[in-house]
Chain A
Amino acid sequence: MKRFLLVSALVLASCGRERARPAASTDLLTIGYDREPDTMNRYATHILEDIESCVVEGLVTNDEAMNIVPVLALEVPTTANGGVDLRPDGGMDVTWKLRPGITWHDGVPHTSADVKFTVDAINKGDWKPESVDGFDRISSVDTPDSLTAVVHYREVYAPYRLQFVRGTLPKHLLDGKSIDAATEYNRKPLGTGPYRVVEWKTGEHILLEGVPNYWRGAEYPKIKRLLFKFLPNTTTRINQLKSGEVQMVALVPWDKVRELRGLPAVRLNTVVGNGYEHVTLNQKHFTPFADVVVRRAMAHAIDRDLIVRSLLDNLVKVVDGPIQPLSSAYEKDVTRYEYNPARARALLDSAGWVVAGDGIRSRAGTRLAFTLITQSGFAIRENVSQALQKQFKDVGIEANVRLIDGTSISSIWFKGDFDAMLHWWQQGADPEITLFFAADRMPPAGRNINYFRDDTLTAMLYASDRTADEATRITLLKQVQKRLALFVPELPLYNTSKVDAVPATLRGFTGNPTNAGPFWNVYQWQLTAAK
């Protein structure tokens, strides 16, 4: 029977032969994508906007070095260039100058009325945008002329520069319509970008085609068509890359990098990420974590260099805090906890944690034993959690690893129902971290899931949010990082580098550390003929 199947497979295979491997074309780039988007409306989706951003452009975007660069705006408004005005009543006005001569793909000019419409539509509240952050602080938008939009904020809002990173909604198309129900727009959005959607085959792929008169010049985009194939299964995605059925895979899981090295058709592009892997220590659930001595001892117990070298092939870099090296607010000079198990033991001894017969420390009847949760199906994390378990054990701390599926784990941490968790935060491009560390930002009001309370830190965080002056803000955030490293409410491990597998023949690709994603400069990409 198996023989029969094999024969029939071979017979059918002969008709499929020659088609399985698409001819390498410089006009078509096929991308193996790990998920199908919910919607192409950038304001409604809550996952990466890779495909969306090829079609709908923001007023600004983040470049590969995390600078905020203008796209549909002429420049990024700042206090220095007169684009930001602090009002005496505590509010602020931000003036966006739009780039002239830009039209939507249907030929209608892109104007300040679209900016105003976007703010009004989001604030009207009759649909489900993913986030209204910042918009809810805007009282009104004035449009003195078709290329100027003055955005009036009720209070100072530091991340204002990224307010329109997701672009604008076309007023002439959506005015008076229910945006949730505007299926046509949500499936094939009208944009100003280098590509438009020509086909979305549910469960299979999205095909984008270059627009004829892209505003950056007729020579762009250089690649005529982009095909995003939905391949949720990681192994399938990597297999297709190997077989040449797809040419590019963004965000290759770290444990798959080894098998892709040495493939002649593939180039691996690594950028420092804007996220960090760390161990969250829930002080509320496991009270020994509330003692800074215990936390410092744990930090000294971890050999991060060994983990990075042996488990991660040096793909990532050890970091000491939540703000990442690419950020302008990054502070390098903070307290470091080098690997020093002897120091860790001494610290625990000094705090009265005595080693018991089973090798695990205890104090006043409490064992220094906790459960470390992490997401299952994430090979590297499973390995790292085991390494941590071993290293903690060496200093008399017991960590019991429990693997939890991806959907369940977020509701568990949101309820604060865990001791410690190995995970990452992928930060936005803005360096704001108030949501993760302010004392009044414990769930459900935020994501301070260390349940760490430090009033000085909280005051510094809020002060940094309420300044429109970039230099002041950076100074404050640098102090925040020093304080965090001193009190070590969580254990930072390493930066979450992003590895993208692209065709060896692709020029112009830079990658991107932020949620802008690797497609931020897709108009420049070019496929050269294979040698």
Chain B
Amino acid sequence: MIRFIVRRLLQSVPLLLVISLLIFALIHAAPGGPLSTYLENPNVRPEDIERLRRAMGLDRPLGVQYLSWLRAFVQGDWGFSYADGRPVLDRLVERIPATLELIGVACVMALLAALPVGIIAAINRRFDRVSSVFAVAGISLPVFWFGLLLQLVFAGALGWLPSSGRTSFDGGDVADRAAHLVLPATVLAAALSAAWSRYLRRAMRDTVARPFMRAARARGLSQRTLLLHHALPNALPTFVTVVLLDISMMASGAVVTESIFAWPGIGSLFTEALGKRDYAVLMAFLMCGSIAVMVLNLVADLAVHALDPRTRDAA
């Protein structure tokens, strides 16, 4: 088991290296740079831009910039933000709690919805039809549109909920924080639960159709026992893998949702850094995202391993 984990981690090192090279090349290939916003400002003379380019080390050849970034990165020095000069690590770390809070709550909401819906849809044709309509809507609604719609209705027209932010500036108690979470978490959860319930339904359907289920039913087991003790454990490994992979994608921040709701997480930091071409923050952010995907992939494998006895001999 430990050997398996160590091997997987070692395998990821060359992969991360290639990824880092790719993202470095890609973000530098995009037009503009950390100084392009300065160009619009008549106070900043071309001489100033040249001076700042040198001061920021942007005048060095790209290869040299990459190597010096890589050397510092592996030593834990993630550099300084081009935008505000603060350490990149500080800028990321201060944003993580907000992102974890949002994603955590959204995932719990999505699971609470997806589990019963997926299970019932697998056995009840009528419910399946209704829920599939909602699921298609949930999957295909553009996040920014749905988010703005919720803002207009619940914050604008009804005035029940704050439309954005994480806390009121003088608030910050549990009720205030919960109120701020509702809309962004609902938007995220809607898309996730829609997809997840479909996966679960499918996995359950497949299991229910298998001969051992017919045999169990023939033995006179109750519908409840059949579903929860026989079908669900068999369907769960697939479902858990999908859920964990989805979460790993979101670990790099729910970029669109955070931006619409001015949620102070790493997703909105990414949007901001992208607009400013803050290379240092972008590199750190994308590397963390890649690492998160790899780690959660590993966790997904281990979870399946734990849930499904059949995979254990193989390992």
A-side residues, CB < 8 A to B, are 1-2, 4-5, 8-9, 12-17, 19-22, 35-36, 38-39, 44, 46-47, 125, 128, 130-133, 136, 180-181, 183, 186, 199, 201-205, 207, 227, 229-233, 235-236, 239-240, 242-245, 406-408, 410-414, 425-428, 435-436, 443-447, 515
From B138, B178, B265, B271, give the contact of A16 (CB < 8 A): B178
B296 adjacent to chain A (CB < 8 Å): no
User: Can you list 15 residue pairs at the A/B interface with Cβ under 8 Å?
Assistant: A1-B193, A2-B138, A12-B179, A13-B154, A19-B162, A19-B176, A19-B179, A38-B85, A232-B271, A245-B163, A407-B30, A407-B32, A407-B277, A410-B40, A444-B46
Asked whether A16 lies within 8 Å of B164 as measured between CB atoms, the reply is no
**Which residues of chain A have C-beta atoms less than 8 A from B207's C-beta?**
none
Given known A-B contacts A1-B114, A243-B163, A435 and B45 have beta carbons under 8 A apart? yes
Asked whether B182 lies within 8 Å of A16 as measured between CB atoms, the reply is yes
CA gap between A227 and B167 in the complex, in Å: 13
Asked whether A425 lies within 8 Å of B51 as measured between CB atoms, the reply is no
B204 adjacent to chain A (CB < 8 Å): no
CA gap between A186 and B176 in the complex, in Å: 30
From B36, B44, B134, give the contact of A407 (CB < 8 A): B36
**8 closest pairs, A vs B, by CB?**
A16-B179, A203-B264, A408-B31, A407-B32, A410-B39, A38-B84, A1-B113, A13-B160
* Residues B139-181 near A (CB distance < 8 A): 148, 151-152, 154-156, 159-169, 171, 175-176, 178-181
**Which residues of chain A have C-beta atoms less than 8 A from B290's C-beta?**
none
- B2-10, B60-68, B254-262 - the one binding chain A: B254-262
Given known A-B contacts A130-B38, A427-B42, A412 and B31 have beta carbons under 8 A apart? yes
B305 adjacent to chain A (CB < 8 Å): no
Given known A-B contacts A20-B161, A407-B32, A230 and B262 have beta carbons under 8 A apart? yes
Q: How far is the CB of B194 from chain A (nearest CB, A)?
A: 7
Given known A-B contacts A15-B178, A20-B162, A38-B83, A5 and B193 have beta carbons under 8 A apart? yes
Q: How far is the CB of B219 from chain A (nearest CB, A)?
A: 33
Asked whether A233 lies within 8 Å of B39 as measured between CB atoms, the reply is no
Closest A residue to B34 by CB, please name it.
A407
Asked whether A133 lies within 8 Å of B259 as measured between CB atoms, the reply is no
B59 adjacent to chain A (CB < 8 Å): no
Q: How far is the CB of B139 from chain A (nearest CB, A)?
A: 12
Which of B117, B160, B197, B268 has the most chain A CB within a 10 Å cutoff? B160
Q: How far is the CB of A280 from chain B (nearest CB, A)?
A: 13
Asked whether B178 lies within 8 Å of A2 as measured between CB atoms, the reply is no
B186 adjacent to chain A (CB < 8 Å): yes
**Which residues of chain B have C-beta atoms less than 8 A from A35's C-beta?**
272
Closest A residue to B269 by CB, please name it.
A203
CA gap between A171 and B284 in the complex, in Å: 36
**Which residues of chain A have C-beta atoms less than 8 A from B167's C-beta?**
204
Asked whether B155 lies within 8 Å of A47 as measured between CB atoms, the reply is no
Q: A5-B109, A229-B165, A408-B36 are in contact. List 14 more A-B contacts (CB 8 A).
A: A4-B117, A5-B190, A15-B175, A16-B162, A44-B85, A133-B45, A136-B47, A180-B85, A232-B272, A407-B30, A410-B32, A410-B39, A414-B36, A444-B46
Asked whether A2 lies within 8 Å of B134 as measured between CB atoms, the reply is yes
Given known A-B contacts A202-B95, A236-B261, A411-B39, A1 and B85 have beta carbons under 8 A apart? no
Asked whether A4 lies within 8 Å of B45 as measured between CB atoms, the reply is no
Asked whether B259 lies within 8 Å of A233 as measured between CB atoms, the reply is yes
Closest A residue to B266 by CB, please name it.
A203
**Which residues of chain B have C-beta atoms less than 8 A from A15's C-beta?**
175, 178-179
Given known A-B contacts A183-B86, A407-B36, A9 and B154 have beta carbons under 8 A apart? yes
B124 adjacent to chain A (CB < 8 Å): no
User: B177-204 toward A: CB 8 Å interface, digit per residue (1/0)?
Assistant: 0111111001001100110010000000
**Which residues of chain B have C-beta atoms less than 8 A from A205's C-beta?**
165, 169
From B152, B156, B175, give the contact of A19 (CB < 8 A): B175
Asked whether A20 lies within 8 Å of B262 as measured between CB atoms, the reply is no
Asked whether B135 lies within 8 Å of A407 as measured between CB atoms, the reply is no
Asked whether B262 lies within 8 Å of A229 as measured between CB atoms, the reply is yes
**Which residues of chain A have C-beta atoms less than 8 A from B155's C-beta?**
20, 239-240, 243, 245
CA gap between A224 and B162 in the complex, in Å: 23
Asked whether B37 lies within 8 Å of A407 as measured between CB atoms, the reply is yes
Closest B residue to A242 by CB, please name it.
B156
Q: How far is the CB of A321 from chain B (nearest CB, A)?
A: 16
Closest A residue to B121 by CB, please name it.
A1
Q: How far is the CB of B230 from chain A (nearest CB, A)?
A: 24
Q: How far is the CB of B159 from chain A (nearest CB, A)?
A: 6
Majority DSSP secondary structure for residues of B touching A: helix
CA gap between A436 and B113 in the complex, in Å: 60
Q: How far is the CB of B10 from chain A (nearest CB, A)?
A: 36
Asked whether A203 lies within 8 Å of B161 as measured between CB atoms, the reply is no
Given known A-B contacts A204-B166, A242-B156, A46 and B41 have beta carbons under 8 A apart? yes
**Which residues of chain A have C-beta atoms less than 8 A from B48's C-beta?**
130-133
CA gap between A47 and B45 in the complex, in Å: 14
**Which residues of chain A have C-beta atoms less than 8 A from B148's C-beta?**
235-236, 239
Which of A180, A408, A410 has the most chain B CB within a 10 Å cutoff? A410
**Which residues of chain B have C-beta atoms less than 8 A from A407's C-beta?**
30-32, 36-37, 274-277
Q: How far is the CB of A188 from chain B (nearest CB, A)?
A: 14
From A203, A243, A426, A446, give the contact of B46 (CB < 8 A): A446
B112 adjacent to chain A (CB < 8 Å): yes
CA gap between A412 and B168 in the complex, in Å: 41
Q: How far is the CB of B55 from chain A (nearest CB, A)?
A: 5
**Which residues of chain A have C-beta atoms less than 8 A from B112's C-beta?**
4
Asked whether B138 lies within 8 Å of A243 as measured between CB atoms, the reply is no
Which of B32, B186, B263 has the most chain A CB within a 10 Å cutoff? B32
Asked whether B151 lies within 8 Å of A239 as measured between CB atoms, the reply is yes
**Which residues of chain A have C-beta atoms less than 8 A from B276's C-beta?**
407
From A1, A12, A36, A128, give the contact of B131 (CB < 8 A): A1
CA gap between A314 and B168 in the complex, in Å: 38
**Which residues of chain A have C-beta atoms less than 8 A from B94's C-beta?**
202-203
* Residues B92-126 near A (CB distance < 8 A): 94-95, 98, 109, 112-114, 117
From B46, B85, B268, give the contact of A445 (CB < 8 A): B46
**Which residues of chain A have C-beta atoms less than 8 A from B91's C-beta?**
202
B237 adjacent to chain A (CB < 8 Å): no
Asked whether B55 lies within 8 Å of A240 as measured between CB atoms, the reply is no
Asked whether A233 lies within 8 Å of B262 as measured between CB atoms, the reply is yes
Asked whether A1 lies within 8 Å of B42 as measured between CB atoms, the reply is no
Asked whether B41 lies within 8 Å of A19 as measured between CB atoms, the reply is no
Asked whether B154 lies within 8 Å of A36 as measured between CB atoms, the reply is no
**Which residues of chain A have C-beta atoms less than 8 A from B162's C-beta?**
16, 19-20, 245
Q: How far is the CB of A37 from chain B (nearest CB, A)?
A: 8
Closest B residue to A30 by CB, please name it.
B169
**Which residues of chain A have C-beta atoms less than 8 A from B33's C-beta?**
411
Q: How far is the CB of B273 from chain A (nearest CB, A)?
A: 11
Closest A residue to B264 by CB, please name it.
A203
Q: How far is the CB of A130 from chain B (nearest CB, A)?
A: 6
Which of B31, B86, B135, B194 has the most chain A CB within a 10 Å cutoff? B31
Asked whether B84 lies within 8 Å of A39 as measured between CB atoms, the reply is yes
CA gap between A133 and B52 in the complex, in Å: 13
Given known A-B contacts A16-B175, A46-B38, A5 and B189 have beta carbons under 8 A apart? yes
